[in-house]
Structure 1
């Protein structure tokens, strides 16, 4: 078993061997896969953002050159870098470039402010930050400077300037705290020799639910995340003819890999990135790019449905709308089918990694009642009462899970792990469910975050 990054809990060897034998883990790394995708799908369009279109070959070249630029600017393999970008091509390029350079991206929603970001930097000991210079009137670079002044970790900031604006940094600047500022666009250097890769090591970090003082940091390995994205893509029959709209934040697990961005790129599909989930812009993008699959939350779905009655946009290309966590009513499910002529699918994502979903071709009743099944055939589940005892089928209880894409512990969080995981490795998902006789799970609610 490959040793994990310090502060991470590995899968026991017997379970790792089982997932390898079953073919869930195949030794692929995400950045290694991108090289293969570039060879296989080179001239096809990988990313779309407004009028910008980037092919698979161009994406791979940009990743290569940014990876070299990161090392040239003083970052080293093994270091952590917070990535807090909106849904723009630079988000995808940066995440892959950091992995290719041997660093660990920490994916953070662009909406988070210092009270959430500062503890994240402290716990991960992040030495770098990539974010917009300003976004919707908020100065992200000033926030990063304030965090850099608080402690010894953050020493490299890479601001993304808005299109058509001149960077105030020129080449680079250094502040009194010793933090260096380089425009993200300056990370463009001749590619270095590829670094050795290991699929068992951490690929990146996701954020789970948690308060400002105790971030829930989820370490995802190449093995487990490649399996998740591949299995999710297969579950919805994703092909190179599909077009995936990333409307919710790309830093979320739902959009990044359920199947999301990673799953779409893995089959040669096109990913359309939009920076806001507003109805008018997203519906226009669906029509313009002939979007076939997207992921939304229930309240976003309702806003889009209300707007589609007045926004003149052709939505006939849509075949599947994934609906994430949150209360979902029968009327919304039925309106999706009648107004858009496509299938709704419920997809619930637990912090520790378990994905449960309704069959993409299943009945609407499953979506209405949130009757889901685990994504992987090797996801082991238990339904337990308040005392931790297994409850009979039909009785409500908390859903516990372990499997090839469910982590065994959060990053540097031993106290949280003690309450969030059982001694035998089951993650407490926080979902309240009833198990049906056929093995399906009917989700009835949520517990408070542990």
Structure 2
């Protein structure tokens, strides 16, 4: 571990203070990267972190927005999913670069740059965002268990706590086991939606047209609101913290050439994985458009309604069952990565170490307790409102993660030769300001709109 710790602390130039320990120390630089062999062999050593990040872009919190967009406006909002995904690819590439170049995750970088009071505020905001995201994922998994097996929502919420023990077991066996489970679940979700798309018989010309931005998105207020919901809630703030940490599980060469290669392969990994997320989000909207919008059902917005309506519209129970299985896989996948992100944020901002099981249990309980209370009192309608609230909280916090990330990766004192070039700085700041503006508008409409 001494060699690994020294590598993590190799360069403190440009930072106000120095991180005292590597990110996720139990798995830090635990996966060897081959120094010889083909580029494919080296690239495969980096495959994994991008898929852990990608699950945040297909979590249950996104499902309701995609379903509503498809049922109300057909294929028109596919272009918004594409644009938001391209923005996510850019920001995740910057998060990976920050971790590789500085040896810090985003939480450590914030602690080492900002004053203690500012860092504490950022930490609290980030914990709220992770709790909100966890809330959406817990509720999504509970709804899936209810739809598939008839398990009451309250018990379904409680069952989701088992992911804590899954992570403990897999992380003790090695980080590759966590990555493998996540990739299997992503392909399960994708496979389910391939079948659902086939069953729904969509209009492929309409799909192609939907990926081209339409002026109607801006001129139609209802469409604009849904579009901003997709854009504003697509980039998950905890994913930026997560990615900047887990890229450091690879034991790559610490020379400038080694870091350059690591950045390239890590960017390929996250970009390819995020195209799977694009496919799944687009697939949800396509299935919704091809079934509900086509049948004139333009008010379908809740996940459970979509599940119940798919069977009569498709003429087979298979469509609904696969929809439920995909939702369950999505919820469980997202809780796995959300729990990891909670560990990274707590350790990064506070520079403390807690036993793994305590840290993960605290992270889960923050999400599960309000979900149990609301579900017990208000039932399914309460969980739908809780899903909306979770997305509002995420929107509030997002800029507090994006802006520091863009600032740090564009700083030559911190990044040296790896600092963002001028064109990338301009593009990154444009995306950061756009996300901030859209989220302010979304929040205003949520609280004060008609």
Which is richer in strand?
A: 1
TM-score (norm 1): 0.26
TM-score (norm 2): 0.26
Higher relative contact order (CA 8 A, sep 6+): 2
Which is richer in helix?
A: 2
